[in-house]
Amino acid sequence: MKLALSSTTLRSSPPGEVVTAAARMGYEAVELWAEHIWDTGAASAPLGVQARELGLAPSLHGPSRDLNVTSSNAGICRESRAQYKKCLEDAARMGAGLVNLHPGALSGSHDNPEEFTRRMIEYGGELAEEAGRLGLAIGLEVMERRRGEFVTDIPGTARIAREVAHPAFGLTVDLAHLLYSGVPIETEGYEPLIFHVHISGSTREKVHVPLAEGIYDLGGALAQLRPFFQGAVVIESYAKGKEMETAEDNKRVFERLIKETDCAPPGK
């Protein structure tokens, strides 16, 4: 496992400062959000160079604000997919190995999830072809159970990946989403499809709080992944007004979890 800092934790800092902070704190990888890069006007290629010069493996989190790649509204669907195309191009310039993809969502309360699953499979295939051409991988994120979401457990997400059937397309398992939703973390039989992992603290009310504030057993979940997972574990916690402190404390808590669950240190 490679421990990664998500730029969402340091969202008030320019992306270049996030990369520098990740290296200074001893993280091994960094995941920048596409919208963080776009909003600040940063150039993606120099960020990739900076990360690699500091010994960090970069990845890119795709855009998510008000987007829906499976929307039944043709304009929203078109714009959402256009932003992901731009994201893939940025990831290629950055030299990021993986792009995290938020799945689509239902457009209305009476929509049929199976119809939207088919849309996600079709679009996933298109995106995987483009990613493969650019030398990238796609991690389809397992979301929390909330209104409109239909990709909310590992088996269902793996079904999409298997029907896409492209070596560049796999899963991002968000442990906080699963724990918050009370959904089992089912990894057996899906190991080759799990490309990427997100973690954060979660409570009964919210996800993505600092690791120390979470109430669920992240250590047990990490122990379950350790025998086979060699990718990046990205910490996505945020605390307004305590961003640097949270990033530093998250790393300490993560290392303690690893030790307590008898796992090897990250990267070993």
Q: What is the pLDDT of residue 262?
A: 66
Residue 268 has pLDDT above 60, yes or no: no
Q: Average pLDDT for residues 68-75, to the nearest whole number?
A: 98
Per the listing, tokens 């650019």 go with 134
Q: Average pLDDT for residues 46-58, to the nearest whole number?
A: 98
End-to-end CA, the chain: 7
Residue 212 has pLDDT above 60, yes or no: yes
Q: Average pLDDT for residues 8-24, to the nearest whole number?
A: 97
Q: Average pLDDT for residues 129-156, to the nearest whole number?
A: 97
Q: What is the pLDDT of residue 261?
A: 76
Q: Average pLDDT for residues 215-228, to the nearest whole number?
A: 93
Q: Give the distance, in angstroms, between the CA of residue 197 and the centroid of all CA atoms in the same chain.
A: 6
Q: Average pLDDT for residues 111-135, to the nearest whole number?
A: 97
Q: What is the pLDDT of residue 250?
A: 97
- Read off the pTM: 0.95
Q: Under a CB-based contact definition with an 8 Å cutoff, are residues 222 and 259 in contact?
A: no
Residue 267 has pLDDT above 60, yes or no: no
Residue 185 has pLDDT above 70, yes or no: yes
Taking all residues of the chain, what is their mean pLDDT, rounded to a whole number? 95
What does DSSP say about strands 201-202 and 207-209: parallel, antiparallel, or unpaired? antiparallel
Q: What is the pLDDT of residue 259?
A: 87
Q: Average pLDDT for residues 93-122, to the nearest whole number?
A: 97
d(CA 133, CA 50) in angstroms, rounded, equals 24
Residue 63 has pLDDT above 50, yes or no: yes
Q: Average pLDDT for residues 185-193, to the nearest whole number?
A: 97
**Domains of the chain by residue range:** 2-260
The SS3 call for residue 260 is helix
CATH classification number, 2-260, choose in 2.60.40.10, 3.40.50.970, 3.20.20.150, 3.40.50.620: 3.20.20.150
Q: What is the pLDDT of residue 253?
A: 96
Residue 265 has pLDDT above 70, yes or no: no
Residue 266 has pLDDT above 50, yes or no: no
Residue 11 has pLDDT above 90, yes or no: yes
Angle separating helix axes 44-53 and 74-94, nearest 10 degrees: 40
d(CA 53, CA 55) in angstroms, rounded, equals 5
Q: Where are the beta strands (DSSP E) in 9-91?
A: 29-33, 57-61
